[in-house]
Amino acid sequence: QVQLVESGGGLVQPGGSLRLSCAASGIIFSINTMGWYRQAPGKQREMVAISGGIPNYADSVKGRFTISRDNAKNTVYLQMNSLKPEDTAVYYCYVGTPFRSYWGQGIQVTVSS
């Protein structure tokens, strides 16, 4: 049974930091990419950061967010600094294999004073 367990979301003030984690288990295929997407109310889901080699970031988070992976633990992290209200969204963990992709259930990040 495939599980993607996300943690680390919550409420933070503007300028604050959060660290998201996503631990994947039960995936029998080799993992090519791991990353994060987000979806704000009324908007489409968008890529935030992907790690499949050289990390790729959305322009809106470059210089503020950092993605990292622990391949031994099949875990991906997203360090989010200098958070802004426009970063408020549900963040989804993504895992890509040669045969299919997997999504986490989503975790809420709210940036508000």
Residues pairing with 37 in the sheet: 47, 92
Q: What is the mean pLDDT of residues 52-62?
A: 94
pLDDT tens profile 67-87: 999 999 999 999 999 999 999
What's the pLDDT band for 45 if we cut at 50, 70, 90? very high
Instruction: Give CA–CA dist 80/63, Å, rounded.
Output: 10
Taking 3-state DSSP, the helix, strand and coil percentages for the chain, each rounded to the nearest 5, stand at 5, 50, 40
Phi then psi for 40, rounded to 5 degrees? -90, 160
Q: Which two tokens stand for residue 34?
A: 């791991």
Which is nearest to 92 in space by CA: 78, 111, 82? 78
